[in-house]
Amino acid sequence: MSHPIDPVNVSPIPPLQDSYTYHSALPSSVSGLPTNESEGWMMGIDEAGRGRPMVYAAAYCPLSFKPTLEDIGFDDSKALSADTRQSLWESFDEHTPLCYSSTSLSPQDISRNMLRRVPINLNRQAEDATIGLIRSALERGVNLKECYVDALGPAPQWQARLTAIFPTITFTVCPKADSLFKIVGAASIIAKVTRDRYVHEWVDPEDMGVDGTHPLKVEGEEPIARGSGYPSDPKTQAFLKEGLDPVFGYKGIVRFSWATVKVLMDKQGVECKWIDDQSQPSAASWFGAEADTGRPKVWRDLGATGVGEL
C-alpha cells in the first residue's frame, strides 16, 4: 500500500496497523524523458528495527550529485545523536535532487506473515521490501545505475539475486554499507528517524478517542517509556515485562512472532488449552441419533461441530 502522506509527519501519528510505502517528490528533470535517456542515478538501501515496526528505506540521487552528498554528513545513523539525525532528515528538503522512499512494516503484518500456515520469515519480508523499493523507483522513471545495499545475510548470494532481478543495475552489497557509502548512510537516517518516531510516539488503536484520530489522555499520566525497541535495551525489557497481559499478551506495537516476546509469554502468560477436532466422534455419527454424544457441552450450546466454527 502506498501513502501520499507519510504518517510520521502527521501529529498525532496514527497507529501503524497496515504496512505502507511512502515516496518523496521527484525533481522535474526525471519526468518527460525515456528512462534510458535520462541522467543516471544511484541508490542506497538500509533498514531499522527487527522487533517492533521495521522500516526499510531507500535514498537516491543523480550520480552528478555525489560530490555534494559526500559533504552533507550522512553516516551510520546509530553512530549519530538524535539531534544530528533530525538535522540530516531535514536536509532532504534542502537538497531537491536527494530523494527517498520508505516501506514501514507494521508489527501486525510481520506477525501475520510469520505465523501463517506456510510462514514468510523476517528475512524474506525484508528481501521483498528491498526489491519493492528498487522496483518502485524504476517504475517512477528513475534511471538507476548503481545500488548499494547493507548486507542481509550472506552478501554474495543476496547481491547475485538482486543482479538477476535487475540486470541493468550494478549492485554492491556488503556489511556496514551505511558507514562505507554516504547514500546508504542517507537511507539509514530515513529508516532510523521513521522507526523512532513510531516507537516513541506510538498510540495503540485501543487508546484512541471516539473520533478514532486523537488519543485518550489522562491528566498527569506519564509518557510510556518503551525504550529503543531492541531486546538489549533495559527500558525495552522493562516495558515488555510490565506491559504483558497474561491472557491477551500485548497491544498492537509488539509483534507476537518476536522471539523475545515468545519467551516472556511462555514464562508469564496463562496457558490456554483448546479443544480440537480429535475429541470428536467420527463424521458419520453426526447424522445419527447419537450425534451429540461425543461433543463437549460448550460445543452443543453453541451448535458448533468443529474448531473452525469457533
Look at residue 296 in the predicted model and tell me its pLDDT.
63
Three-state DSSP class for residue 105: strand
Mean pLDDT (whole number) for 56-64 = 96
Residue 130 to residues 136, 186, 235, 237, Cα–Cα distance (Å): 10, 15, 30, 29
Render pLDDT for 212-230 as a digit per residue (tens, 0 to 9).
555 555 555 565 666 666 6
Compute how many other C-beta atoms are within 10 angstroms of the C-beta atom of residue 123. 12
Q: Would the annotation count 47 as a binding residue?
A: yes
| Helical packing angle, 259-268 and 234-242, nearest 10° | 40
Confidence label for 65 from pLDDT (cuts 50, 70 and 90): very high
* pLDDT greater than 60 at residue 292: no
Q: Is 206 annotated as a binding residue?
A: no
Please tell me the pTM assigned to this model: 0.72
Q: What is the pLDDT of residue 216?
A: 55
Q: How far is CA 46 from the centre of its chain?
A: 12
| pLDDT tops 80 at residue 41 | yes
The b-or-e profile of 196-228 (16+ CB within 10 A means b, else e) is: bbbbbebbeeeebeeeeeeeeeeeeeeeeebbb
> Does residue 279 carry a pLDDT above 90?
no
Q: Is the pLDDT confidence value at 201 over 90?
A: no
Task: List, for residues 188-200, the tens digit of each pLDDT value.
Answer: 999 999 998 888 7
Residue 174 is predicted with a pLDDT of 96
Is 150 annotated as a binding-site member? yes
pLDDT at 154 over 70: yes
